[in-house]
A and B are shown apart, each in its own frame.
Chain A
């Protein structure tokens, strides 16, 4: 038995196949829309990451020394590497820049997971000044979720600006505690803080309502009524109306208590949820500040999803049963040529080099193949329909 380091895992079988399928769907969709694949380095210099990442990200970094003695961290975030790369490799005239990726990220394990490595798929759109970029990314994200069979997943939309402005007149240490309570989901602590602390009435009223500002687009009107003139909701409103016009009205929900790192995100933010999993599958939002830290101007929008969770819920998790092609004592070259014809017709198959028909059939049934093909005759046996009545040869018949 090959023991793995604690917090690490090998992924194989049906889940690995589903992850690969999801990755293919994701990359091909985003590439069709002008997103370029990006393969970041596995190690990042600590000095490059530390100042640019918000405190909650930093706490999760796994620090290591490179063999050259440089203080590094295992790649905990792909966005930073992407932004830094684009800032140095592309001129301002080339913007907006679009990037998509699928790679492992490493972070300190957090309950309920024990794993420190995860597989992330994500995309970034950088350097666009006007509207459209947010909606483009969310539209493509929803399209991708549809394509992998998560048609019932929901985007929970919030806006980091709303909460940031609501606590802007609150003493900074209290504001931090208020935001932390929301982030950790303690509405009890949140309401206690609002009662106890000295907060201007106008903002207290808004903050008290925030946990209830949750639902359909009508929530935005409710929030605007509360805030009066200048409610920081324009970007979110544009996203909601665009996605609704695109037929995704029932796939979005607004939650103005949604919190992501306030110092990092600077506009609309979102999380992806699916009925069959208790936690967010991932999310993202607008992070213009990181862009300016890297010397770029304009907006930045990105997201990352946990590929393993997404794949485990996807339609690919139920792997389509494959076909077993029996070589039927043909020469290997003949058998492979005939089998290749089947694969070019789009049939995924697995070769069987068993010496006799019965063993091959038995092996196909054990592997859960949907059908079995005799390559010499070209005849097909539908195993999914006939397994019940099929008399499988016993072990003594097997010559495999």
Chain B
């Protein structure tokens, strides 16, 4: 039995579609309802909150998982990234009100002690510290775009797909941090002990990823 963890939310349907297209028995994922665990033939699927998915894999509860690059970077857990599916593409960016753009174009000293609201404190810390900028990171769990508007922060670090939410909140991209996409990851233990099964699934997903639009 191979256990695959899938993130609920934005990218769940893309992950389920990839599994089905790869020929894995995953019909139950088409309409999951409120169930969180499904078994079909030799596969078990676990539906988990996106930020929890890397933990399931790292601890070996799941052999494989789909996870966004942002979640993987933030978790920094030891696991094996097998494949970039190319799905769920978006970017991690620093965004803020237009007047702040000048400070981001200038010397690093202009960015010192900015207040940065984010769901990704680790990514934010790595990003700003790699540039030598000391900032004040405010860890929020949602509605990040509100923070500058309400004076809680100067700017935000968040994922952006179309940019419409930023626009609606009068924010603009100040700095690109990294590209994000849906990745297939595996537990180190499963790579060590069940490589042939892991490789077969990975190859099937890679193949269908190349074919699907």
A interface residues (Cβ-Cβ under 8 A, vs B): 110-112, 154, 156, 184-189, 212, 214-215, 253, 255, 271, 273-280
Contacts and interface: CB of A to CB of B under 8 A. Distances in A.
A214 B193 CA distance: 10
Contacts of A253: 192-193, 195
Contact of A215 (B55, B189, B196): B196
22 contacts: A110-B78, A111-B58, A184-B78, A185-B80, A185-B81, A187-B83, A214-B191, A214-B199, A215-B195, A215-B196, A253-B192, A271-B192, A273-B188, A273-B193, A274-B189, A277-B189, A278-B187, A278-B189, A279-B58, A279-B189, A280-B188, A280-B189
A247 B76 CA distance: 38
A272 to B, nearest CB: 9
Interface in B54-96: 55, 57-61, 75-84
Contact of B77 (A111, A186, A215): A111
Contacts of B195: 214-215, 253, 255
A278 B59 contact: yes
B81 A278 contact: no
Contacts of B188: 185, 273, 278-280
Given A111-B76, A154-B193, A280-B188, A188 B59 contact: no
A189 to B, nearest CB: 7
Nearest to A181: B81
B183 interface: yes
A156 B127 CA distance: 35
A139 to B, nearest CB: 20
A117 to B, nearest CB: 19
8 nearest CB pairs, A to B: A278-B60, A185-B80, A273-B192, A278-B59, A186-B81, A156-B192, A214-B195, A188-B84
A6 B193 CA distance: 34
Given A112-B59, A279-B58, A185 B189 contact: no
Contacts of B59: 112, 277-278
Nearest to A155: B192
Contacts of A215: 195-196
B4 to A, nearest CB: 15
B189 A112 contact: no
Given A112-B77, A188-B81, A188-B83, A279 B196 contact: no
Contacts of A276: 60
Interface of B: 55, 57-61, 75-84, 183, 187-189, 191-193, 195-196, 199
B189 A187 contact: no
A253 B58 CA distance: 20
Given A111-B77, A278-B58, A187 B82 contact: yes
A154 B60 CA distance: 15
Given A186-B80, A255-B195, A273-B192, 5 more contacts: A111-B76, A112-B59, A185-B191, A214-B195, A253-B193
Nearest to A281: B189
Contacts of B192: 154, 156, 253, 255, 271, 273, 280
Nearest to B62: A278
Nearest to A182: B80
B196 A187 contact: no
A135 B210 CA distance: 44
Contacts of A278: 57-61, 187-189
B126 to A, nearest CB: 14
A238 B108 CA distance: 56
Identify which of B57, B58, B78, B189 gathers the most chain A CB atoms within 10 Å of its CB: B189
A332 B83 CA distance: 69
B108 to A, nearest CB: 24
A188 B183 contact: yes
Contacts of A189: 81
A187 B58 contact: no
A186 B191 CA distance: 13
| Interface core residue of B55, B75, B195 (most chain A CB under 10 Å) | B195
Most chain A beta-carbon neighbours within 10 Å: one of B57, B81, B187, B196: B81
B204 to A, nearest CB: 15
A202 B196 CA distance: 26
B200 to A, nearest CB: 12
A187 B81 contact: yes
Nearest to B60: A278
Given A111-B77, A112-B58, A278-B60, A212 B189 contact: no
B81 A275 contact: no
Nearest to B196: A215
Nearest to A219: B195
Nearest to B194: A275
Contact of B78 (A185, A188, A273, A277): A185
Most buried by B among A212, A215, A255, A273: A273
B123 to A, nearest CB: 14
Contacts of B82: 187-188
B211 to A, nearest CB: 19
A228 B61 CA distance: 40
Contacts of A110: 78
A215 B77 CA distance: 25
A154 B194 CA distance: 11
Nearest to A280: B188
